[in-house]
Amino acid sequence: MSDLERRYLRLLRAYPADYRRSRGAEIVGTYLDLAAQGQRWPSPADAADLLRGGLRQRLRAAGAADLIPGVRLAALLAFPAAAAVAGTWATAETTAPTVDWVEFGPFATVGVACWVAWLLAAVVAAVAPARWARVAVGLALAVTVAVVPGSVIAGVPRPPLFVLLPQMVLGLLALALPTGGGWRLRLPPLAAAAAAVASTAHGLGDWSYRWGDPGTALTTAAPAVLVVAMLIAVALVLRGDRRGLWSMLLLIAPVGLLSLRPLAFLTAKTLDWNPQDTATFAVTAAAVVALNVTVLWVALTAGRAARNRPLRSANLPTAHTCPTCGSPR
């Protein structure tokens, strides 16, 4: 056995054992036939292809074949939501009144960098080839994460963590955007961002991170995302498609984190904590993520159990029933 074949067999462990036994030799043989002369390692593309295929087969074995399409659908919902939130905050940044004790040029906070990055990602998704949408989303997500340490290093103000955290989670989900799709899938992020900018500029006034409660706007966005996801899920279920249900389950954490501020106040009231403490927000955010993980685990477990459940004996013919009609003899 060559080193290349041995390494392909290691990657094949991503597949379920039954699938490896039935088709493992065929899969490895195909890759070996396509390998270049003298090749010793699987190419990154081959490794990614095997890992994706293994994940797909494991989900199918668990009765969750619709999970990956559900992730892509959730990404198509998360990206417009992230773009709309970015449009709202970008407009809020520009209307911040000038104060002497804290400033970041003409803007309220350094967060304007990440909001502009998300707006640019929406533009890229609309006008550039589809494969660049994920790159733009990844860059916007990186800028969003960098805002937190960057503000500390530079000594400039940043948006509250309960504003940045849901944007990060929406961005992580948006990384699963499908590489295909026509204009009807590529325009919603830009349209959502434009609508958010227009509506915020019309009614915002002097409201910003410093004045008012930015958690209110996020709490308003949460039910909007949930309602859209529910409507799509219902429409797909009526056609026998379950990916909408999976997308709803995947959006529990983003929707919960969009409501992080009121949920943190509820946590503080229940545990008699300070609602403004970072620990309160951290515990609440961890609870939201844990809830999402638990719900997904329960759904996967239920799907596996339903797939492995034997047929009920009442539905099977016995020695005392007619094998054709099932009536007693």
pLDDT score of 63: 66
H helix or E strand, kind and range, residue 106: none
Q: What are 272-283's pLDDT values in tens digits?
A: 888 778 888 899
pLDDT score of 204: 54
Query: How far apart, in Å, are the Cα atoms of 317 and each of 224, 262, 307, 312, 326?
Result: 51, 58, 22, 11, 6
pLDDT score of 314: 45
Beta-bridged to residue 328, according to DSSP, are: 321
CA neighbours closer than 13 Å in the CB half-sphere of residue 194: 8
CA neighbours closer than 13 Å in the CB half-sphere of residue 208: 22
pLDDT score of 23: 86
Q: Closest Cα to residue 82, out of 165, 172, 167? A: 167
Structure-block tokens of residue 281: 């927000």
H helix or E strand, kind and range, residue 295: helix 278-308
Residues of the chain with pLDDT under 50: 101, 205-206, 208, 311-314, 316-317, 321, 323-326
pLDDT score of 100: 53
Long-range contacts of 121-124 (CB under 8 A, 24+ apart): 121/79, 121/83, 121/189, 122/79, 122/83, 122/86, 122/189, 122/190, 122/192, 122/193, 123/190
* Residue-by-residue DSSP string for 61-100: HTT-TTHHHHHHHHHHHHHHHHHHHHHHHHHHHHTPPP-S
pLDDT score of 313: 43
pLDDT score of 309: 64
CB neighbours of 258 closer than 8 A, spacing ≥ 6? 85, 166, 218, 219, 221, 222, 225
CA-based end-to-end distance of the chain:
61
